[in-house]
Structure 1
């Protein structure tokens, strides 16, 4: 987890739209359009999420992505590791052994054990990973649902239904028209 890129942010935002939509597969193109991001950018993220089992893909006209397991079982750490890989936050370069006073050969006391700076970074990374592991898509989605007006969920469902109908060539008569 050397650096959390925008891929993580966009990936999590798109996954949030999949929470609670088990009966409807959403295409990466639709998710990108909803988020206002490049479909080709998102198309690079979702295969990583699929490989990690976070999403499941289905092919065909009604194809798209669904969550691969319950939202309560998908932590933010799962998503970060799937997208960014399990890389360390800090890449220690053993600078402590390069002191000019050591003339190219550091004494044992200077290089023995874990570098004190590296130890702090390991501790910080552990705290961050622990925190990310405690936050799930379900818990954050629940916070969002409490914040958004109840009509917003209906608007989003109708928006996806309109696009799904366009993909399949049928119009769902119960879907409302939502301006794009």
Structure 2
């Protein structure tokens, strides 16, 4: 079982598509981002509601509207995204069982229960390090890493694909909009 929800993965991937090759924000609709990545649109809409509430993205208006980054890409950390979507999750929930050993016969000695539980302390250290690692990585860092890996034409393909979708919505040539309109007739 993973610690973070699929929404965190979807959200991070979507924000990567909202960053262009220079680190500037670009605009896309939730529907287009869902189609682009093959993820459920309804679920992604809930993810974007959380991202917008955290001011990591902001809605744009109009027929061509969608979402764009709410802050510069070098200021949005992975921890910001995780927290916006899943909240603050602990990797360990201490049940304080150290005093329940059967050898103690129901009366644990003080040495067994005094002070901080070593297991809990180790897990909290791991939690802190994980959060520090997520806080040190921005969406721009990931976008640049992805950009170095992808062939140069990939950025142009993404820009073209998103631009075509936006233009189709504006002109009424969006296949999904046309299909819905035909059903209504």
Report TM bin, short chain.
Answer: 0.7 to 0.9
- The runs of 5 or more residues in structure 2 that have no matched partner are 174-185
Whether 1:11 aligns to 2:11 is yes
Matches within 5 A, 1:1-180: 3-20=3-20, 24-169=26-171
Secondary structure of the 1:56 match is strand
User: Deviation string for 1:117-146 (max 9, x for gaps)?
Assistant: 111101111111111111111111111111
Alpha-carbon distance in structure 2 between the residues aligned to 1:106 and 1:79? 43
Gaps of 5+ in 1: 172-180
Counting matched residue pairs gives 170
Shift of 1:101: 2.7
Using structure 2 for the length normalisation, give the TM-score. Answer: 0.85
Q: What is the match of residue 178 of structure 1? A: none
> What's the RMSD between the two structures over aligned residues?
1.8
In the aligned structure 2, how far is the partner of 1:23 from the partner of 1:105? 61
State the alpha-carbon separation in 2 of the partners of residues 126 and 24 from structure 1. Answer: 33
Question: TM-score scaled by structure 1?
Answer: 0.87
